[in-house]
Every structure is written in structure tokens, then in C-alpha cells.
């Protein structure tokens, strides 16, 4: 029996939260953050080709990002601090096209979130700082990035603990609306 608990989203196919088993005592803890056999035992057969890590300050919102021609699946987790992480279904033929799901990820809860190819992804930093790690199923391709506005009313994402405008990159201030995405791309066929 594996050392992870996988909870699949009841409505949005492909999304799942992964909780590793943590072994702790007065000295600290140990956990396996990834095990190919445990993933396969739970029906997860993705292959990762790249690991990334970022650090962000409180109030930073990164996203909602997607890849146009080379969609990536991402297994994301937080190793310091906490974030609210969101995935939006952009798969054209999905019955949940345009629906989203969010989950809090933190160093304390050690949860991981798998976001399959064909989703927009973003996160909002809730702690003073957050270190965010993610495994990707495809390599980074410069010029292949797209994005949807974090506060698009058609998506209706409720970002917790947001008292003021988030800190955004220049590109995230001018992302397209969900409606523009539908008009331009129509959604991803996967």
C-alpha cells in the first residue's frame, strides 16, 4: 500500500489533491513527496520532465496561466508558507469547461495539487512569503504562455484573505478575459 492519499475532484475530471504520509516525532518529520509506484497505484501515470521553484511575497498573485501549444500538467506544492491555488478547466469538450477549483496548500498541510494539461493555473500568497514547487509534464517553451485575468467575473473565483488588490506582474495586469479566451482559442482539445 502506498504512502499517499489521493482525492479526485468529484466533478472536474483530472484534478486531484494528494496528501503524503508524514512520519514525525520530536526531532522533526520525514515524507516522500513523490513516488512513481504510489502514483501509478492511484491511477496517476503522468511523466514529469522538469521541476520548478519560485518564491513570492504576501499578496502576490501569479496567474491564471496556461500554455497554448504545449499544455503542461503540474504537480504543485508549497514548502514554505501558504497559498490559495486555483485551476480552471479550459478543455473544450469538457462538461466542466470554465469551472474552477481552489485549495489551500501550505508547508504545514503538505498537500499537493495535480493540475492536468488543458487548465489555467494560478495562486495567491497568503503568508509573508511562500516557496512554491512544481513538477511539469512538458518543458517550458518560450512564447507559448497565455493567461486569463485572475478576477474575471465569468469565472467567479473567490480569493480568500484578499483585503486589497494583489501584487501582479506586468503581464498578469493585462491578461485576456475568459470570453476573449473562448473567442480566440475556443478551448483545448486533449
Residue 1 reports pLDDT greater than 80: no
With a CB cutoff of 8 Å and minimum separation 6, the contacts of 128 are 57, 58, 81
Q: Per-residue pLDDT tens for 120-148?
A: 999 999 999 999 999 999 999 989 999 99
Helix (H) or strand (E) holding 181: helix 178-184
Task: Check if 45 is active-site.
Answer: no
Confidence of residue 189 (pLDDT cuts 50, 70, 90): low
Which of these is catalytic: 9, 100, 124, 134?
134
Say what the pTM is.
0.93
The domain segmentation of the chain, as residue ranges, is: 46-184
Task: Check if 65 is active-site.
Answer: yes
Pairing relation of β-strands 28-31 and 22-25?
Answer: antiparallel
Q: Per-residue pLDDT tens for 35-92?
A: 999 999 999 999 999 999 999 999 999 999 999 999 999 999 999 999 999 999 999 8
What's the confidence (pLDDT) of residue 184?
83
What's the confidence (pLDDT) of residue 185?
79
Across the chain, what does the average pLDDT equal?
A: 94
- The terminus-to-terminus CA distance of the chain in angstroms comes to 31
No. of H helices and E strands in the chain? 2, 13
Residue 115 reports pLDDT greater than 90: yes
CATH superfamily of 46-184: Jelly Rolls (2.60.120.10)
Which of these is catalytic: 65, 114, 121, 124?
65
Amino acid at each position: 500500500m502506498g504512502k499517499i492519499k489521493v482525492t479526485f475532484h468529484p466533478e472536474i475530471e483530472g484534478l486531484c489533491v494528494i496528501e503524503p504520509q508524514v512520519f514525525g516525532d520530536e526531532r522533526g518529520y520525514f515524507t516522500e513527496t513523490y513516488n512513481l509506484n504510489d502514483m501509478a497505484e492511484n491511477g496517476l501515470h503522468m511523466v514529469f520532465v522538469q521541476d520548478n521553484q519560485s518564491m513570492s511575497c504576501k499578496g502576490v498573485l501569479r496567474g491564471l496561466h496556461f500554455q497554448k501549444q504545449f499544455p503542461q500538467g503540474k504537480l504543485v506544492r508549497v514548502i514554505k508558507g501558504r497559498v490559495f491555488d486555483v485551476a480552471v478547466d479550459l478543455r473544450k469538450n469538457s462538461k466542466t469547461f470554465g469551472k474552477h477549483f481552489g485549495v489551500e496548500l501550505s508547508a504545514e498541510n503538505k498537500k499537493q495539487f495535480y493540475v492536468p494539461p488543458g487548465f489555467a493555473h494560478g495562486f495567491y500568497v497568503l503568508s509573508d512569503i511562500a516557496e512554491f514547487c512544481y513538477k511539469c509534464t512538458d518543458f517550458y517553451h518560450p512564447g507559448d504562455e497565455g493567461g486569463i485575468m485572475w478576477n474575471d467575473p465569468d469565472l467567479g473565483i473567490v480569493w480568500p484573505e484578499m483585503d486589497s488588490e494583489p501584487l501582479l506582474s506586468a503581464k498578469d495586469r493585462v491578461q485576456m478575459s475568459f470570453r476573449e479566451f473562448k473567442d480566440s482559442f475556443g478551448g483545448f482539445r486533449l
